[in-house]
């Protein structure tokens, strides 16, 4: 699959656990919109087996390769600052659509 590592300036410089939790709520809320642009036939890959989450579920976890979003140890250790990894896109996904969808979801979460 294609994994999308992402961050914003706010995520890298400010972070905060409360912001991270709101961000994960937003990714869960828009999970269907993400899957829609994460590549064709993704249901064949996102089965919940072989280090993937099921296509119809959203999860996140520290160093969890079976989660929808893998949270690096460094992210938590640095005060919830840094990058995250969306593990759901497949290798046939358009990276511009993937990035656009991630940014649209991030945009829904207030930073104040």
Write out pLDDT tens, residues 77-101. 999 999 999 999 999 999 999 999 9
Q: 87 in a domain, yes or no?
A: yes
Which pairs count as long-range contacts for 46-51, CB under 8 Å and 24+ apart, including other chains? Answer: 46/88, 51/87
70 falls within a domain: yes
CATH number at residue 54: 3.30.590.10
Q: What does the pLDDT read at residue 59?
A: 96
Residue range(s) defining the domain that contains residue 40 = 4-107
Mean pLDDT of 12-33: 98
Contact, 101 vs 86, CB < 8 A? no
pLDDT at residue 53 in the model: 87
Beta bridge partners of residue 95, listed in sequence order: none
Task: Classify residue 112: in a domain, yes or no.
Answer: no
* Rounded-to-integer distance, Cα 51 and Cα 28, Å: 19
Q: How many domains does the chain have?
A: 1
Mean pLDDT (the chain, rounded): 94
Instruction: Give domain status of residue 32, yes or no.
Output: yes
Confidence of residue 30 (pLDDT cuts 50, 70, 90): very high
């Amino acid at each position: 699959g294609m994994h999308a590592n992402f961050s914003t300036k706010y995520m890298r410089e400010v972070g905060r656990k409360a912001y991270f939790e709101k961000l994960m709520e937003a990714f869960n809320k828009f999970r269907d919109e993400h899957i829609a642009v994460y590549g064709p036939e993704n249901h064949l890959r996102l089965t919940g087996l072989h280090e993937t989450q099921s296509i119809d579920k959203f999860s996140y976890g520290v160093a969890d390769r079976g989660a929808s979003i893998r949270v690096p140890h460094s992210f938590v250790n640095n005060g919830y600052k840094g990058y995250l990894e969306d593990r759901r896109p497949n290798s046939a996904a358009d990276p511009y659509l993937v990035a656009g969808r991630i940014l649209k979801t991030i945009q829904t979460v207030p930073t104040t």
